[in-house]
Every structure is written in structure tokens, then in C-alpha cells.
């Protein structure tokens, strides 16, 4: 197999094809700490792209509760168990990826869910990691934990769906790195469903072809953010482009969060796909779980996030999340104002970093009413 460089692993690895990075790579950062599991992103995607026959069960965007929620059931547990030990030497991955662990004659270590595994997309919702003792009361700290994990296709740099397809029906667009299934070529072998460890390709039993997130490419081509980004109630998503670490720019919001400040980390980087959706990890979750799910950079990302409140640039960038429906190419924070710019350098939005505080007297003499704070 050809060898390619995967910066998330800090080393080369085997892949089915020669490496060919796109001219620009679709990317986003999600701040897990802000998610309220309202599922607006899920429904925005569902009503836009998957309301047709055979698509009923598909959620190209889903939000699950970790550690007990999955869609489809057990997708991460299955592949992490099949892969065996995943050892890191610092930030260099010393274990095998799903390409390197592929059985003889195959390109990817995969597994295919049963139809019923997709039947309960909200399984485990709001369930916590352990038990709460009878009579326990809140003592200022939450001894148990859970968090919401929002997931879409990662438009991976080394997609396992693409590597698994025996007909070459899956391709990665050179102009933006979006991964698509050619509906005319696909014959429904479902090798991509088996190969994608994130289970973000879905078989449509009516058309007999596989379908997946298209990154809302008609919007991307117009400079607009994808539906799940634009609709997010929690304002926890920012969409842009990611560079390789050597080419990272300080004024590119995704580069700044991932490469410069190392606040955002990929989901299960050890699998070897170099996924392009990044997460600011939850700050209240045990380190061992974070490392398993987000790699060895996760604990430092949590520390950096905790310190962000003291950092004017990071605070500014964090308020730009969800502040525009356009793709953010560049940003700047100055004099307590954060500004986002589009492709041509025009200003998309400006947001005050510190919200002004307004104190109103309880008695409103104009309307002759008294306002009480009842919360």
C-alpha cells in the first residue's frame, strides 16, 4: 500500500491511494461544552437532505450523549475493540490504524451495523457515566458526567469510505475536500458503510445506493456555512478551512484553534483518517476517556480552554462562533471587538467580546411598574 503522512498521528501510515491533499480542506470546530442537545442541527440537515424514500432512518448529522449514546449502536466501541491496543508515544501514534490493521486482502478494518442498530438514535440520552448513590445531594461538584457529541461526516483527508469502495464510486473534491458518493457509479455493495468507522455513510434500500453528508456543497460554493453550522442554537460551531500544521495561519480561525492554540482536537485520530471536524473537548470528563476519544492532545486542549477567559484573542474568537452564516476565512480581535472576514477580505460580522452590562432600576417610572428578578 502507498504511504501517506498523517499529521494527527505524527507519522506516515499506509493508505489505499497516494496522498493528494485538496486545494482547500472543508473543516469546522465544535465546542462540546456549549451543546444543549436541542437537535436543531439534526433537524436542519434532515429536512434539507434526507426526507425522501429510503432515507427515513438517516441522520447525516446526529447528536448523541456520551458515554452511553451511539448512532448506530456501539459504532465507536465496536471499532475501538476490533482495533486492539492504541498506544501513543507522546503525540506519535504507536499503534495500528484501521488501514494497517485490515485483514489480508482487504483495505480497511471495518464492520457493518444491522438495520436495527440505527433504530434508536437517541439511545442513552442524558444517561450519566456511573451511579448516583441514594440520598446524594449536590455538593458543589458533579461527581458523575455525560456530554453531548454532535457528529457529521468528517470529510476525512484519508477517507475509509473511499478506500473501501471496490468500484471507485467515492471521491474527494480537489477544490474543497468534500467527500461524495457518485450516485451513478454506486452499485450498493455497502463496503463504504462497513469501512467508515464513524458510520457516516448510509445505504438507501429504495435507490440501492449509498448516501452520505454532502457538506451542503451548494452552499459552500456560495461561501455560505452548511445547514448544521448555520442552524446551531448553541452557537458552538465555526466553519472554515484547515491547513496542514506547516502552513497554519494565525488569522485563520480553524488553524488558530487547532494548530496554534491547540484547543480543538479530532475524534478518534488513532483510526488514521485525519478527520476534519475538530472538537473543543468537554472540561468535566475523566482524562482517560478524553484521550481514548480525542487523542493525547485532549487534556492540554481542556487546560487551554479553561485559560481562554484570560486571553483576549481566544475570547474574541469564541464569540465569533455562530455569529455569521458565512464561512469564516480570517478573523481579528482588537479593542475588545472580534471581526470575521470572508474570502475576498470583506467584513462578515463584528461582535463585542465583552457584552455591556445594563443595570435597570427595579421601578420603571415611565410605565409605573416594578420589575422583579424572579429567577
The 64-103 site mask, x for binding ligand SF4 (CB under 6 A), equals: ----------------------------------------
Query: Whole-number minimum distance, CB 362 to ligand SF4, in Å?
Result: 33
- The closest alpha carbon to 25, from 262, 293, 271, 273, belongs to 273
* Closest CB to ligand SF4 among residues 27, 150: 150
Binding to ligand SF4, residues 135-154 (CB under 6 A):
148, 150, 153-154
- The closest alpha carbon to 281, from 86, 35, 6, 9, belongs to 35
* Closest CB to ligand SF4 among residues 120, 122: 122
- The closest alpha carbon to 316, from 291, 292, 338, 288, belongs to 338
SS3 state at 202 = strand
Please report whether residue 116 would count as binding ligand SF4 according to CB under 6 A.
no
C-alpha to C-alpha distances, 246 to 7, 24, 197, 250, 255, nearest whole angstrom: 10, 14, 28, 12, 10
Indicate the pairing of strand 330-334 with strand 337-341.
antiparallel
Q: Of the ranges 192-200, 202-210, 296-304, 355-363, which one interacts with ligand SF4 (CB under 6 A)?
A: 192-200
* Closest CB to ligand SF4 among residues 180, 327: 180
Q: What does the alpha-carbon distance between residue 174 and residue 165 come to, in Å, rounded to a whole number?
A: 19
Please report whether residue 337 would count as binding ligand SF4 according to CB under 6 A.
no
Q: What does the alpha-carbon distance between residue 91 and residue 184 come to, in Å, rounded to a whole number?
A: 41
Among 273, 301, 313, 327, binds ligand SF4 (CB under 6 A): 273
Please report whether residue 179 would count as binding ligand SF4 according to CB under 6 A.
yes
C-alpha to C-alpha distances, 21 to 71, 177, 239, 330, 357, nearest whole angstrom: 29, 8, 19, 21, 47
* Closest CB to ligand SF4 among residues 214, 308: 214
Please report whether residue 272 would count as binding ligand SF4 according to CB under 6 A.
no
Please report whether residue 333 would count as binding ligand SF4 according to CB under 6 A.
no
Q: What does the alpha-carbon distance between residue 231 and residue 238 come to, in Å, rounded to a whole number?
A: 11
Indicate the pairing of strand 337-341 with strand 369-370.
unpaired
Continuous H helices in 181-311: 191-195, 217-220, 227-230, 253-255, 287-294, 298-307
Please report whether residue 239 would count as binding ligand SF4 according to CB under 6 A.
no
Q: What are phi and psi of 280, to 5 degrees?
A: -80, 115
Please report whether residue 200 would count as binding ligand SF4 according to CB under 6 A.
yes
SS3 state at 86 = coil
Among 9, 29, 101, 161, binds ligand SF4 (CB under 6 A): 161
Q: With CB under 6 A as the rule, give the number of residues binding ligand SF4.
A: 28
Among 15, 49, 198, 278, binds ligand SF4 (CB under 6 A): 198
Please report whether residue 4 would count as binding ligand SF4 according to CB under 6 A.
no
With CB atoms as reference, the residue minimizing the distance to ligand SF4 is 234
Query: Whole-number minimum distance, CB 335 to ligand SF4, in Å?
Result: 29
The 118-137 site mask, x for binding ligand SF4 (CB under 6 A), equals: --------------------
- Cell 494527527 belongs to 8
Q: Of the ranges 193-201, 336-344, 353-361, 365-373, which one interacts with ligand SF4 (CB under 6 A)?
A: 193-201
Indicate the pairing of strand 62-66 with strand 147-151.
antiparallel
Q: Which residues bind ligand SF4 (CB under 6 A)?
A: 35-41, 63, 148, 150, 153-156, 159-161, 179, 196, 198, 200-201, 212, 232-234, 236, 273
Amino acid at each position: 500500500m502507498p504511504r501517506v503522512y498523517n499529521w494527527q498521528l505524527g507519522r506516515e501510515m499506509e493508505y489505499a491511494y497516494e496522498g493528494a491533499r485538496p486545494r482547500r480542506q472543508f473543516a469546522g470546530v465544535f465546542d462540546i461544552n456549549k451543546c444543549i442537545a436541542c437537535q436543531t442541527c439534526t433537524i436542519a440537515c434532515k429536512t434539507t437532505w434526507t426526507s425522501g424514500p429510503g432515507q427515513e432512518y438517516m441522520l447525516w448529522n446526529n447528536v448523541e450523549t456520551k458515554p452511553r449514546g451511539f448512532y448506530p449502536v456501539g459504532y465507536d466501541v465496536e471499532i475501538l475493540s476490533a482495533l486492539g491496543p492504541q498506544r501513543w508515544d507522546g503525540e506519535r501514534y504507536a499503534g495500528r490504524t484501521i488501514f494497517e490493521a485490515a485483514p489480508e486482502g482487504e483495505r480497511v478494518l471495518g464492520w457493518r451495523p444491522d438495520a436495527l442498530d440505527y433504530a434508536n438514535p437517541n439511545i442513552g440520552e442524558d444517561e450519566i457515566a456511573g451511579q448516583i448513590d441514594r440520598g446524594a445531594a449536590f455538593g458543589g461538584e458533579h461527581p458523575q458526567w455525560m456530554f453531548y457529541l454532535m457528529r457529521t461526516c468528517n470529510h476525512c483527508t484519508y477517507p475509509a469510505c473511499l478506500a473501501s469502495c471496490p468500484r471507485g464510486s467515492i471521491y474527494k473534491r480537489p477544490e474543497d475536500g468534500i467527500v461524495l458518493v457518485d450516485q451513478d457509479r454506486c452499485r450498493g455493495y455497502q463496503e463504504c458503510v462497513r469501512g467508515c468507522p464513524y458510520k457516516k455513510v448510509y445505504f438507501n434500500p429504495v435507490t440501492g445506493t449509498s448516501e452520505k453528508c454532502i457538506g451542503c456543497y451548494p452552499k459552500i460554493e456560495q461561501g455560505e456555512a452548511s445547514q448544521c453550522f448555520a442552524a446551531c442554537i448553541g452557537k458552538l460551531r465555526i466553519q472554515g478551512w484547515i491547513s496542514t500544521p506547516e502552513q497554519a495561519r494565525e488569522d485563520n480561525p480553524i488553524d488558530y484553534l487547532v494548530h496554534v492554540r491547540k484547543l480543538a482536537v479530532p475524534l478518534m485520530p488513532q483510526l488514521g483518517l485525519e478527520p476534519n471536524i475538530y472538537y473543543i473537548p468537554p472540561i468535566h470528563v475523566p482524562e482517560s476517556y478524553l484521550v481514548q476519544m480525542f487523542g493525547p492532545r485532549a487534556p492540554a486542549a481542556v487546560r487551554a480552554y479553561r485559560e481562554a477567559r484570560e486571553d483576549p484573542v481566544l475570547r474574541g474568537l469564541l464569540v465569533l462562533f455562530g455569529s455569521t452564516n458565512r464561512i469564516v476565512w480570517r478573523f481579528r480581535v482588537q479593542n475588545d471587538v472580534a471581526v470575521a472576514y470572508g474570502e475576498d477580505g470583506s467584513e462578515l460580522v463584528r461582535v463585542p467580546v465583552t457584552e455591556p452590562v445594563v443595570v435597570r432600576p427595579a421601578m420603571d417610572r415611565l410605565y409605573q411598574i416594578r420589575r422583579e428578578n424572579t429567577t
